[in-house]
Chain A
Amino acid sequence: MPEFTAAEYSAILLSLKVSLVATLLSLPFGFAAAYVMTYRQFRGKVALDVLVNLPLTLPPVVIGYVLLILLGQHGFIGLHILQPLGIKLIFTWKAAVIATAVVGFPLLVRSIRIGMESVDHGLIQAARTLGAGWFDTMLTVILPLSLRSVIAGSALMFARGLGEFGATIIVAGNIPGVTQTIPLAIYDYASSPGGDSMAMALCVVSVIISVAVLLFHEYLSHRMIRKD
């Protein structure tokens, strides 16, 4: 097993950081999207459904490219919003977070929707007649009862984020110490003759982290069942 240098540790930490931030940032939006899609009827609902699920079917490179076009120096958002505010996103870890968030978002929403749909409608009706408005009901009834699916979705999104490559490399670039996450580091080593053992070592680390995440998710789920 080859020795990890600072570059590799930095890649591992960066992967964890980017995935974690992307997941946490996406949670409120994912929950809101799932709520609207489960409980509200409105024109254009199908369009929202398609939009939310789109990243699931698009190649990540396409997503990365689209983000680059939008957020880059000459992009619509880049030119009119980011530059005037002095915000630079491309080739920063923030871009990596955005790419990871976009790619993983549909997984989060799907999971939460399944949880929400399984909440007994009678409970929601009861809450409304007991004086809880829609927001109150969402917070005190729907959220606690779909919490398990929120956690499952988050774990799934986090794990997917750890493996994010295509969109990340386009929009965040391969900057060691700044945006070089584990998959990018593996790619770097894999393109290099003689880099196989290091690439494999990083793969092993990747697998270990994913297994840890999944085990943690199982543990949390069981704890929640016991509390019932």
Chain B
Amino acid sequence: MELRVTVNKAFSPFNLTVDFTVSQARIGIFGPSGSGKSTLVSLIAGLEQPDEGIIQLNGETLFDRSINVPPEQRRIGIIFQHPHLFPHLNVRNNLLYGYKRSALENRRIDFDCLIEVLQLGPLLERGVNNLSGGEKQRVAIGRAVLSNPRLLLMDEPLSALDDTLRFQIISHLKSVCETFDIPFLFISHSLLEMRLMADQVISVAAGRILGSSTAEELARQRLGASPVGYINLLKLGLPTPAAGMFAYPWGSSRLLMSAGPSRDESMAELSSKDIMLFKKHPEAISARNLLLCTVRSLFSSGRKIGVELDCSGNTLIAEVVQDAVDELEITPGSSIYVAIKASAFRLLPG
């Protein structure tokens, strides 16, 4: 998939001026509200027209000085912030709306397979107006996918959902796009969502592109500016109870957390601000997690220094001030003790 977008559009209060080409399958567009992300989505999908510019998808020109392919012919699907399900059709007919309108040679999504992946089986014959928020969004995803798009635009699809739902939907989105091999553009103002969904992220602000990087790089860059620092995402195994807390396998290591238990393998968040570093083993410490790690690298972000640590094969990022780096003599390759309180972790729902 290759998408080329070079456009100008006046939209208040900014002017959207972008020029980029992307060719991966999982792209993110990241920026604060009002930065022009949704306008960009409208332009790519053909719902609005740029004042001037060129839009090309897989070599086909969708828009330029003399061409303007209407949205129904672009085969670009959108998953909106609100499901926008057709209230006068039931779930099945909503799902099939786009499918029925796609040309025979373009139909490659298997209906039953999709229902399976999104777990929509029991909902098929129901009307859409009494579905829960999560159910509606799943139907919306199914409907967009079933229209056999060449590219899927996701315009803040999780913003209207509560936390638990958000991560469930993320996993649905990923599995659907993976299963059916659909490239997507994921738009959001949440860095966490971006890290879970996208490989390459384009940052925008005030109608302009700030830069392009991987989600991971972006997170590290924002360590200093963010009030929560860098959020470590930890993959955990099934927990066992231990001394009033829970012991989670973490790679080849183990973490004690007060949160839990979760029934399956899960993910936990740990802020870089909640990690304390010790040059020497601190004989007695209240924190229940004490790990010996090796420093891999250091990077600066704003006024903080990010320390990338190798903990028995797992990666952790902690943040300290330059002063601490000097005092503890933290250098790549040196060993350091890492202390984390059991209550510092936050299990991701779903």
Say whether A associates with B. Answer: yes
Q: How many A-B contacts are there with CB distance less than 8 Å?
A: 65
- Check if A133 sits within 8 Å of B84, measured CB to CB: no
Which A residues are in CB contact (< 8 Å) with B101?
A: 130-132, 136
- When the two chains form the complex, which single residue of A133, A141, A144 contacts B72, counting CB atoms closer than 8 Å? A133
Q: How far is the CB of A139 from chain B (nearest CB, A)?
A: 12
Q: How far is the CA of A61 from the CA of B324 in the complex (A)?
A: 93
**A123 sits at the interface (CB 8 A):** yes
Binding stretch for chain A, among B26-34, B73-81, B118-126, B340-348: B73-81
**A54 sits at the interface (CB 8 A):** no
Q: How far is the CA of A136 from the CA of B74 in the complex (A)?
A: 16
- Check if B70 sits within 8 Å of A133, measured CB to CB: yes
- Check if B71 sits within 8 Å of A144, measured CB to CB: no
Query: How many A residues face the partner with a CB closer than 8 A?
Result: 18
Interface residues of B in 95-154 (CB under 8 A from A): 97-98, 101-102, 127, 129, 143-144, 147
**A197 sits at the interface (CB 8 A):** no
Q: How far is the CB of B238 from chain A (nearest CB, A)?
A: 41
- Check if B86 sits within 8 Å of A123, measured CB to CB: yes
Q: How far is the CB of A216 from chain B (nearest CB, A)?
A: 22
Which A residues are in CB contact (< 8 Å) with B129?
A: 228
- Check if A122 sits within 8 Å of B97, measured CB to CB: no
Given contacts A128-B72, A133-B70, A228-B129, contact A145 B78 (CB under 8 A): no
Q: How far is the CB of B3 from chain A (nearest CB, A)?
A: 16
Interface string of B316-347 (1 = CB under 8 A from A): 00000000000000000000000000000000
Q: How far is the CB of B94 from chain A (nearest CB, A)?
A: 9
Interface string of B45-61 (1 = CB under 8 A from A): 11100000000000000
- Write the residues of chain B forming the contact surface with A, with a CB cutoff of 8 angstroms: 45-47, 70-78, 80, 82, 84, 86-88, 97-98, 101-102, 127, 129, 143-144, 147
- Write the residues of chain A forming the contact surface with B, with a CB cutoff of 8 angstroms: 120, 122-123, 125-133, 136, 140-141, 144-145, 228
